[in-house]
């Protein structure tokens, strides 16, 4: 076997020394991954089989321990886990039953949203089984990690035609029983200010049954009816999720509303309702959502019913009404013959209707006429499209005064974009929508005096809905479903209008989740509460009757069922049956919690990721870099790092230019215009010249210039331009870099001009100083250009245009300053 | 060459005229699209009815004041001195108006009274109290009293500081009066909710306190009353035995200003619990008679 090395074997060493082809490496890695995956799957299948075989094995759960839950009350956990213990069960578990129960409890635990996902579960079999029954005794361990208890967030939101900044404080697990305390403060363009606090707690340790108590104080600009609404009040409500997925809310609202801050030209109808009113009401809402996605559903339906009773009987308050609203949406996928699976084409219909029935207040049987802030509003880019915000319904002058009865419907046809396909969340849509909003119609136009008259008025108003066509708009547009919000850009035309109603011809942009036919997803349910703090739930709209964002926040009604805790267990611990969640690396879905906040306004939020760099840094304002560059310019002997300008920030450069102008201003002349002009044109021209001079690409092996740099991998890094050099322009010298270099090297002249404020520059001293400064600028900038653009042996050539550029500024400095005036006199300047 | 040179100057003005035209077109909607858009909406129905509202049915001048339902029906004097001053003035100069019971939130300036002129006059731009006199002069061409008598301003300041401060104190800061008079008139009509009522009451009292602290560093009831007594004395001397102030044939703005306070102070229906101002005022018989004369206008 000891054959001499053949020529071929010698080759092997050579080949080994060569760096591996990345493609080959990638293939190898892929193969390894596939193999690992296969092994894992096999193990899982085998384990599944093993458990299947033993699934009828009788066993007992003797103890349950929750590890690391130091801030959680024992009593609370006992409520969750007591039913699991065999001592509380009538008959022994089979193994599969026990596992199912254990995993169901883990799921329940995770829905409280106080522990990080995943919750690991371990089973341990006690060495001796129960002698009498022959049962195997299992100890269950839940290993949890508590989420951080205090969460402080600040950010900005933009949407629903409103921009706002907010701060939010969430205190989780306040008393160790998954109670949440939530403070929210925001200031905005429309919601002038809003402060809100809410406390919610699970009832009887059930994550699907929660009690919430909250209070709010806010001031909201209502431009559609030229007033401001100041709101103070509180609510309490029970929320529960039935097993079949119906969500219910039942609660009490008490709000003190103030219609104030009326504009000069506010209509008499709004003026009549100005002032204070108290609403005291009980409400119930029911929602069911069977759509596959709230933003861009392709199938399913959604339904919601809301009822509110205010001021009736013992409720008191200043307003009395019964308000009822229904909302439905259904989506049908349209199959295209010849295309397998989803064609991406879907047909969506939506319908909404509501009425406000006046009631007598307390012992007074005369029905109370509705107030402006209780009436419905209709229309807007996220409501009935093709109309302005609250553009439908009765208008007194420019003010939308709202109505007591409304109905609105829409039909949309959505197509995937050609070439992009159905997978992309982008659709073309054609829509027709319309609606009517009517005030209570009374015969002889007097307020109804009895409930019989009110009923008559209501029926006559409802029948009026069908009189003539509803106000209709149609259009086409583009829909984009971001995971957090839905964006629509539509071109719409009103087809049918009432006088006074404000239709919108042309483009209309809608952002948000409040779309009429995409009813608002309640924040609880799909996501955990911390991700949802900025949802604008519709609870507030029950305050005022229309969709005013309230920035109310909810605790989670339950996190998604923990995928890890379901199905059969995997992995083994000790001698017992292991039951651990698959690790994050395998499932790849565990760490989604760390992603971006998914509140619907997050699309425009400034909140960002957890470990995001600070804003200034993202904008490229890095003071450390600015300092380094400035020092490099000031020290003519410093070695110039060729990556110095890699981030090419323009802020330092801009700062120098502005400073120069300011110093010249202080010394007596306004030269800003000239400075900007010369700077811009000079920079563009110099960039063109210098990039023509610099080598095409240092990476290009055909280029003879500096092959050594090819070994430097960091050259590949170019934050602005991909290194695809087309034409004769430099690969490394981008325009921002040129501008940056020119601006930074401007520093000596800036210092000279600073001196020029105090010392006359139109003297021999000034000429010398300016010349020196120009020389310095030229020297450092030419050095930098050579380093950045990787030019060799042409520094003199580079310096010449740069010198001309700086001389112009130098002369400006001289002219601007006082002095002997010799030069100024010769040139005729005064 | 020459022909070329000749043709150019002709073209240039033409070009320059076309250029801005084209630039404007670039930003505006193209004509065919505009024609198409103008065709929409295809159908325009008449306007929706407005919700039932007391204001929209009345067509005359509407003066928004603090008053109650009975006051609105019978045109009785408002219980707020500022409102009553203008209500009386408009009556004296002979302008017809209807009273609307309202509150400060409804006013564009934040205080009552204000007036919505009858629709044909102006597109319902409200006239605040500060511009009411100017409006009235334009409407009925009455005289501007300030210009007729130089002492007008001097005596007005007596009312605006001396009497008004004492009035604020006795109405809002005297506990008995506040509970018996101010609360039922100003607070209770706003809402039926007792918590909100007490919040509003506290706001109201604080506002009065702030107003008084503007003119002095602390609130001294007896000093305020003494000041009011001096003011009554001066007014009484000014009126003398004439029928109206400044010896005018008809009552005017100054009479209205005085009447606004004297009427409310002497009005039995107000239900004062502690009325030191009333005692002070009763000493001046001519002021009491002045008030009774003017009350006949209502």
- Please answer yes or no on whether B53 and A440 come within 8 Å at the CB atom: no
Is pLDDT of A437 > 80?
Answer: yes
Mutation for testing the A interface, residue in B34, B36, B41, B116 having most A CBs under 10 Å: B41
- Please answer yes or no on whether A494 and B41 come within 8 Å at the CB atom: yes
d(CA A330, CA A214): 33
Q: Is residue B227 included in any domain, yes or no?
A: yes
Cβ proximity of A525 and A247 under 8 Å? yes
- Assigned token pair, A379: 């229309």
Q: Is residue B12 included in any domain, yes or no?
A: no
Q: Is residue B99 included in any domain, yes or no?
A: no
Which chain A residue's Cα is nearest to B57?
A: A445
Give the distance from residue A394's alpha carbon to the nearest chain B alpha carbon, in angstroms: 5
pLDDT confidence of A202, banded at 50, 70, 90? very high
- Please name which of A125, A508, A386, A364 lies closest in space to residue B192, comparing C-alpha atoms: A364
- Please answer yes or no on whether B125 and A442 come within 8 Å at the CB atom: no
Domain that holds residue B246: 147-167+221-295
Percent of chain A past pLDDT 70, that is, above it, reads: 74
The enclosing domain of B226 has a CATH number of: 1.20.1050.10
pLDDT confidence of A606, banded at 50, 70, 90? very low
Which chain B residue's Cα is nearest to A493?
A: B40
- Assigned token pair, B249: 């044939």
Give the distance from residue A517's alpha carbon to the nearest chain B alpha carbon, in angstroms: 23
A261-265, A286-290, A606-610, B98-102, range with greatest mean pLDDT: A286-290
- Which chain A positions have a beta carbon within 8 Å of B37's beta carbon? 493, 505-506
- Assigned token pair, B178: 């506040």
- Please answer yes or no on whether A272 and B124 come within 8 Å at the CB atom: no
- Mean confidence (pLDDT) of chain A: 75
Residue A822: count other Cβ atoms within 10 Å of its Cβ: 12
pLDDT attached to residue A216? 92
Which chain A residue's Cα is nearest to B193?
A: A317
Q: Is residue B42 included in any domain, yes or no?
A: no
Is pLDDT of A638 > 70?
Answer: no
Q: What are phi and psi of A506, to 5 degrees?
A: 100, -150
d(CA A607, CA A165): 11
Is pLDDT of A708 > 60?
Answer: no
Q: Is residue B252 included in any domain, yes or no?
A: yes
pLDDT, tens digit (0-9, with 9 covering 90-100), for A403-432: 999 999 999 999 888 877 778 888 899 999
- Please name which of A223, A214, A234 lies closest in space to residue A188, comparing C-alpha atoms: A223
pTM: predicted TM-score of the whole model, two decimal places? 0.65
Give the distance from residue B111's alpha carbon to the nearest chain A alpha carbon, in angstroms: 11
pLDDT attached to residue A759? 80
Burial class for A528, CB neighbours closer than 10 Å (0-12, 13-18, 19+) = buried
Q: Where are the alpha helices (DSSP H) in A228-337?
A: 268-272
Cβ proximity of A534 and A166 under 8 Å? yes
Is pLDDT of A572 > 60?
Answer: no
Which chain A residue's Cα is nearest to B59?
A: A268
* Neighbour-count burial for B129-146, b at 16+ CB within 10 Å, e otherwise: beebbebbeeeeebeebe
- Please answer yes or no on whether B37 and A275 come within 8 Å at the CB atom: no
- Please answer yes or no on whether A267 and B190 come within 8 Å at the CB atom: no
Q: Where are the alpha helices (DSSP H) in A408-535?
A: 451-465
Q: Is residue B173 included in any domain, yes or no?
A: no
Q: Is residue B265 included in any domain, yes or no?
A: yes
Is pLDDT of A282 > 90?
Answer: yes
Q: Which of A265, A280, A401 sits opposite B125 (nearest CB)?
A: A265
Contact pairs from chain A to chain B, CB under 8 Å: 151
Residue A420: count other Cβ atoms within 10 Å of its Cβ: 12
d(CA A787, CA A483): 45
- Please name which of A317, A292, A403 lies closest in space to residue A356, comparing C-alpha atoms: A403
- Assigned token pair, A741: 């270099």
Q: Which of B45, B50, B102 sits opposite A439 (nearest CB)?
A: B50
Give the distance from residue B204's alpha carbon to the nearest chain A alpha carbon, in angstroms: 14
Q: Which of A277, A493, A506 sits opposite B191 (nearest CB)?
A: A277
DSSP string for residues in A188-254: ESSEEEEEEEEEEEEETTEEEEEEEEEEEEEEEEEGGGTEEEEEEEEEEEEEEE-TTS-EEEEEEEE
- Please answer yes or no on whether B191 and A268 come within 8 Å at the CB atom: no
d(CA A229, CA A259): 5
- Mean confidence (pLDDT) of chain B: 81
- Please name which of A458, A608, A596, A453 lies closest in space to residue A527, comparing C-alpha atoms: A596
- Please answer yes or no on whether B49 and A394 come within 8 Å at the CB atom: yes
d(CA A433, CA A516): 10
Give the distance from residue B209's alpha carbon to the nearest chain A alpha carbon, in angstroms: 22
Which chain B residue's Cα is nearest to A376?
A: B51
Q: Is residue B83 included in any domain, yes or no?
A: no
- Please name which of A149, A140, A142 lies closest in space to residue A71, comparing C-alpha atoms: A149
Q: Which of B42, B123, B192 sits opposite A318 (nearest CB)?
A: B192
Is pLDDT of B57 > 80?
Answer: no
Residues whose CB falls within 8 Å of the CB of residue A6, separated by 6 or more in sequence, listed in order: none
Domain count, chain B: 1
Give the distance from residue A224's alpha carbon to the nearest chain B alpha carbon, in angstroms: 15
d(CA A523, CA A556): 7
Q: Is the peptide bond before B41 cis (omega within 30 degrees of 0)?
A: yes
What is the β-pairing status of strands A136-143 and A58-67? parallel
d(CA A529, CA A535): 10
- Which chain B positions have a beta carbon within 8 Å of A466's beta carbon? none
Mutation for testing the B interface, residue in A258, A272, A358, A433 having most B CBs under 10 Å: A272
d(CA A821, CA A829): 9
Q: What mean pLDDT do residues B103-122 have?
A: 80
d(CA A549, CA A541): 8
Max distance between CA atoms of chain B, in angstroms, equals: 107
Complex ipTM value: 0.82
Cβ proximity of A289 and A324 under 8 Å? no
pLDDT attached to residue A647? 65
DSSP string for residues in A259-270: EE---TT--HHH
- Please answer yes or no on whether B50 and A394 come within 8 Å at the CB atom: yes
- Please name which of A240, A236, A249 lies closest in space to residue A203, comparing C-alpha atoms: A240
Give the distance from residue B195's alpha carbon to the nearest chain A alpha carbon, in angstroms: 10
Q: What mean pLDDT do residues A689-698 have?
A: 71
pLDDT, tens digit (0-9, with 9 covering 90-100), for A214-238: 999 989 888 888 899 999 999 999 9
- Which chain B positions have a beta carbon within 8 Å of A318's beta carbon? 191-193
pLDDT attached to residue A819? 55
Q: Which of A266, A369, A503 sits opposite B52 (nearest CB)?
A: A369
Give the angle A785-A791-A793 at the CA atoms, nearest 5°: 110
């Amino acid at each position: 076997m000891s054959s001499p090395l053949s020529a071929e074997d010698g080759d092997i060493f050579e080949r080994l020394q060569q760096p591996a082809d990345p493609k080959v490496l990638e293939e190898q890695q892929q193969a390894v991954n596939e193999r690992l995956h296969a092994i894992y799957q096999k193990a899982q299948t085998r384990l599944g089989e093993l458990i299947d075989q033993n699934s009828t094995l009788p066993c007992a759960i003797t103890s349950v321990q929750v590890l690391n839950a130091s801030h959680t009350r024992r009593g609370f956990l006992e409520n969750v886990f007591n039913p699991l213990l065999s001592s509380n069960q009538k008959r022994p578990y089979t193994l599969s039953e026990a596992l199912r129960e254990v995993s169901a409890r883990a799921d329940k635990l995770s829905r409280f949203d106080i522990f990080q996902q995943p919750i690991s579960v371990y089973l341990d079999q006690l060495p001796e089984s129960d002698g009498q029954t022959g049962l195997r005794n299992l100890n269950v361990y839940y290993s949890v990690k508590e989420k951080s208890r205090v969460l402080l967030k600040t950010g900005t939101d933009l949407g629903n035609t409103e921009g706002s900044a907010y701060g939010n404080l969430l205190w989780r697990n306040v008393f160790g029983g998954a109670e949440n305390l939530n403070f929210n403060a925001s200031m905005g363009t429309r919601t002038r200010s809003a402060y809100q606090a809410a406390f919610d707690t699970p009832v009887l340790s059930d994550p699907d049954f929660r009690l919430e108590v909250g209070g709010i104080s806010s001031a909201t600009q209502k431009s559609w009816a030229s007033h401001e609404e100041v709101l103070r009040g509180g609510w309490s409500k029970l929320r529960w999720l039935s097993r079949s997925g119906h969500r219910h809310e039942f609660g009490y609202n008490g709000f003190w509303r103030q219609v104030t801050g009326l504009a000069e030209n506010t209509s008499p109808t709004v003026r009549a309702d100005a002032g204070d009113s108290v609403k005291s009401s009980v409400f119930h809402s029911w929602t069911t959502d069977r759509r596959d996605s709230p933003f861009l559903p392709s199938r399913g339906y959604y339904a919601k019913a809301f009822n509110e009773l205010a001021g009736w009987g013992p409720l008191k308050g200043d307003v009395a009404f019964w308000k009822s609203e229904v909302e439905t949406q259904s989506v049908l996928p349209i199959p295209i013959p010849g295309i397998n699976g989803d064609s991406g084409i879907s047909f969506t219909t939506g319908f909404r209707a509501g009425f406000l029935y006046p009631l007598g207040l307390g012992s007074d049987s005369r029905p109370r006429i509705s107030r402006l802030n209780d009436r419905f509003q209709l229309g807007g880019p996220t409501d009935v499209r093709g109309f302005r915000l609250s553009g439908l319904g009765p208008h007194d002058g420019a003010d939308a005064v709202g109505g007591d009865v409304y109905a609105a419907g829409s039909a949309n046809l959505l197509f995937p974009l050609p070439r992009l396909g159905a997978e992309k969340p982008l659709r073309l849509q054609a829509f027709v929508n319309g609606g009517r909003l009517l005030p209570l119609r009374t015969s002889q136009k007097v307020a109804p005096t009895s409930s019989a008259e009110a009923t008559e008025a209501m029926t006559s108003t409802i029948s009026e809905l069908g009189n003539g066509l509803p106000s209709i708009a149609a259009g086409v547009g583009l829909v984009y479903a971001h995971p957090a919000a839905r964006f629509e850009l539509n071109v719409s035309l009103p087809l049918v209008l009432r006088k006074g109603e404000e239709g919108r011809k042309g483009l209309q942009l809608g952002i948000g989740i409040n779309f009429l036919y995409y009813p608002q997803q309640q924040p609880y349910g799909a996501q955990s509460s911390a991700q949802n703090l900025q949802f604008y739930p519709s609870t507030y709209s029950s305050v005022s009757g229309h969709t005013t964002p309230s920035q109310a926040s909810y605790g989670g009604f339950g996190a998604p069922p923990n995928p890890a805790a379901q199905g059969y267990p995997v992995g083994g611990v000790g001698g017992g049956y292991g039951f651990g969640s698959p690790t994050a690396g395998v499932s790849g879905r565990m760490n989604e919690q760390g992603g971006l906040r998914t509140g619907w306004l997050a699309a425009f939020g400034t909140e960002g990721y957890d470990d995001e760099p600070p804003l200034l840094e993202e904008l490229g304002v890095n003071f450390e870099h600015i300092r380094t560059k400035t020092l490099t310019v000031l020290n003519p002997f410093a070695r110039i790092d060729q990556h110095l300008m890699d981030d090419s920030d323009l802020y330092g450069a801009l700062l120098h230019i502005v400073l120069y102008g300011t110093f010249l201003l202080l010394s007596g002349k306004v030269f800003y215009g000239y400075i900007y002009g010369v700077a811009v044109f000079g920079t563009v021209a110099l960039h063109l010249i210098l990039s023509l001079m610099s080598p095409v690409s240092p990476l290009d092996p055909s280029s003879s210039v500096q092959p050594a740099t090819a070994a430097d991998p960091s050259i590949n890094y170019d934050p602005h331009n991909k290194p695809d050099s087309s034409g004769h322009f430099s690969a490394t010298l981008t325009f921002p870099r040129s501008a940056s270099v020119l601006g930074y090297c401007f520093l000596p002249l800036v210092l000279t001009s600073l001196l020029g404020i105090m010392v006359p520059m139109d003297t021999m001293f000034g000429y010398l100083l300016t010349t020196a400064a120009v020389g310095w600028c030229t020297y450092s900038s030419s050095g930098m250009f050579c380093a950045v653009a990787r030019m060799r042996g042409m520094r003199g050539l580079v310096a010449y245009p740069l010198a001309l550029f700086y001389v112009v500024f130098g002369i400006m400095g001289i002219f601007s300053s006082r002095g002997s005036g010799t030069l100024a006199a010769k040139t005729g300047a005064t | 060459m020459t022909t070329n040179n000749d043709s150019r100057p002709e073209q240039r003005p033409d070009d320059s005229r076309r250029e801005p035209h084209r630039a404007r077109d670039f930003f505006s909607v193209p004509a065919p699209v505009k024609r198409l858009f103008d065709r929409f909406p295809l159908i325009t129905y008449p306007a929706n009815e407005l919700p039932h509202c007391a204001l929209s049915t009345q067509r005359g001048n509407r003066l928004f004041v603090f008053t109650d339902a009975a006051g609105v029906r019978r045109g009785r004097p408002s219980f707020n001195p500022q409102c009553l001053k203008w209500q009386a003035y408009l009556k004296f100069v002979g302008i017809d108006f209807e009273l609307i019971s309202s509150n400060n939130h409804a006013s564009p300036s934040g205080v009552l009274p204000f007036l919505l002129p009858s629709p044909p006059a102006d597109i319902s731009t409200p006239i605040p109290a500060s511009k009411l006199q100017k409006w009235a002069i334009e409407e009925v061409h009455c005289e501007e009293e300030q210009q007729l008598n130089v002492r007008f301003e001097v005596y007005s300041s007596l009312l605006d500081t001396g009497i008004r401060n004492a009035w604020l104190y006795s109405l809002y800061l005297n506990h008995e009066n506040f509970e018996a008079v101010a609360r039922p008139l100003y607070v209770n009509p706003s809402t039926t909710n007792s918590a909100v009522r007490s919040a509003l009451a506290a706001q109201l009292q604080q506002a009065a306190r702030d107003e008084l602290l503007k003119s002095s560093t602390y609130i001294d009831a007896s000093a305020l009353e003494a000041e009011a007594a001096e003011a009554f004395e001066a007014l009484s001397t000014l009126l003398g035995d004439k029928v109206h102030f400044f010896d005018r044939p008809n009552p005017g703005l100054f009479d209205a200003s005085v009447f606004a306070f004297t009427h409310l102070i002497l009005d039995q229906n107000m239900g004062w619990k502690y009325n030191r101002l009333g005692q002070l005022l009763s000493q001046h018989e001519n002021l009491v008679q002045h008030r009774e004369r003017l009350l006949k206008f209502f």
